[in-house]
Amino acid sequence: MHAVVISGTGLYQPPHTISNAELVEAFNRYVDLQNEQHAAAIAAGDRAPLTHSSVEFIEKASGIKQRYVIEKGGVLDPTRMYPRFAERGDEELSLMAEIGAEACRQALAAAGRQGSDVDAVFCAAANMQRAYPAMAVEIQQAIGAGGYGFDMNVACSSATFGIEQAVNAVRSGTAKCVLVVSPEITSAHLEWRDRDCHFIFGDVCTAVLIERADLATATEQWEVLGTKLVTQFSNAIRNNFGFMNRSEDSDPGARDKTFKQEGRKVFKEVVPMAAAHIEAHLATMELQPSAIKRFWLHQANLGMNQLIIKKLVGAEAGVAGSELAPLILDEFANTASAGSIIAFHKHRAGLQSGDTGVICSFGAGYSIGSVIVRKH
């Protein structure tokens, strides 16, 4: 068994931002158009009018102030309300592979590695652009990696679950250098016309390089002390889009074919699960939450992270958004499985050699994944 380190991370950040004000303006124009179009049915009481969204609500309920998107025009067009992507030919690099390769190249550069050093690529994300060939195999080719690649999806926990697979492969000796890449094009699977969730997601891609500790040469390394995964079935976050839709003669535009959730229920059920999970994982290493220098938590909701941190270390010790539990969701929104990795990528400066931190994701499934790391 080999010791394993995270030796580099990368982040692809899309070129466009949408502020809450821009988002709400487009949404409210959509609502007005719909209400005008259905004025007679609304007046007859046959249809309920749609209601405006509000910047104040979004910031208060979620902590999100803006999001990055790969394409902005389609999302903000009140007659469309989803991004506009040109279909690419089979000979062209697909969009997920393009942003994946960029994040991977950054992670490799940070670790002082090249594509040819990599012997496995795991593409771990909440949505895949196509059924096959696997996105991971296309990314593997784009960066000049050897070995093998596969795709995996555990929604918001895809990246941490991918890290465990990579750590196990390196620990057991089946691979020496593995990339876990999480291209999250959430804008294509968000229902931008639903007031309850139109503000939640943003696009991004992260990459994490996992290597054998005795072979890694990166100036900054994080030993992976352990990983712990759990799933528990829930319909509270669900998306019924899939290859069976055609055969079931279901409407591809139906509401259940994009992201759907019972936000309150998710909030109430996942917070205690995530806090207990982290505590139990730390206990297996005889570590107390108070000994942890940083928590890089999943980035879905400011209030969720506040409560998790409070349960772990007490209200006096730290709040979400402090150094102890950095926030990136104000800038990036919820980026599905990439959130905790963005937090780790951007907010790990200042920790000393020997300091311990926890990366933890939580989301649909339900699924929770934690990775305990120690700075070399």
Q: Which of 20, 53, 129, 234 binds ligand CO8 (CB under 6 A)?
A: 53
Judged by CB, which is closer to ligand CO8: 243, or 316?
A: 243
Q: How far is CA 236 from CA 258, 298, 368, in A?
A: 13, 17, 15
Q: Which of 74, 226, 263, 321 binds ligand CO8 (CB under 6 A)?
A: 263
Q: Decide if residue 321 touches ligand CO8 (CB under 6 A).
A: no
Q: How far is the CB of 24 from ligand CO8 (least distance, A)?
A: 8
Considering only the stretches 41-49, 108-116, 143-151, 260-268, report the one whose residues sit in contact with ligand CO8 under the rule CB under 6 A.
260-268
Indicate which residue of 123, 156, 205, 360 is catalytic: 156
Query: How many Å apart are CA 255 and CA 240, to the nearest integer?
Result: 9
Q: Decide if residue 301 touches ligand CO8 (CB under 6 A).
A: yes
Q: Which of residues 131-170 bind ligand CO8 (CB under 6 A)?
A: 155-156
Question: Token pair 């949408």 is at which residue?
Answer: 18
Q: Decide if residue 201 touches ligand CO8 (CB under 6 A).
A: yes
Q: How far is the CB of 29 from ligand CO8 (least distance, A)?
A: 14
Q: Decide if residue 54 touches ligand CO8 (CB under 6 A).
A: yes
Considering only the stretches 10-18, 55-63, 79-87, 92-100, report the one whose residues sit in contact with ligand CO8 under the rule CB under 6 A.
55-63
Query: How many Å apart are CA 114 and CA 108, to the nearest integer?
Result: 6
Judged by CB, which is closer to ligand CO8: 126, or 224?
A: 126
Query: How many Å apart are CA 143 and CA 111, to the nearest integer?
Result: 15
Q: Decide if residue 238 touches ligand CO8 (CB under 6 A).
A: no
Q: Which of 47, 267, 319, 347 binds ligand CO8 (CB under 6 A)?
A: 267
- Tokens coding 344: 């780790």
Told to judge if 156 belongs to the known catalytic residues of this protein, a careful annotator would answer: yes
Q: Decide if residue 195 touches ligand CO8 (CB under 6 A).
A: yes
Q: Which of 7, 9, 20, 62 binds ligand CO8 (CB under 6 A)?
A: 62
Q: Decide if residue 205 touches ligand CO8 (CB under 6 A).
A: no
Catalytic residue IDs:
156
Give contact residues for ligand CO8 (rule: CB under 6 A): 53-54, 57-58, 61-62, 126-127, 155-156, 186, 189-190, 195-196, 201, 237, 259, 261, 263-264, 266-267, 300-301, 304, 334, 336, 363-364
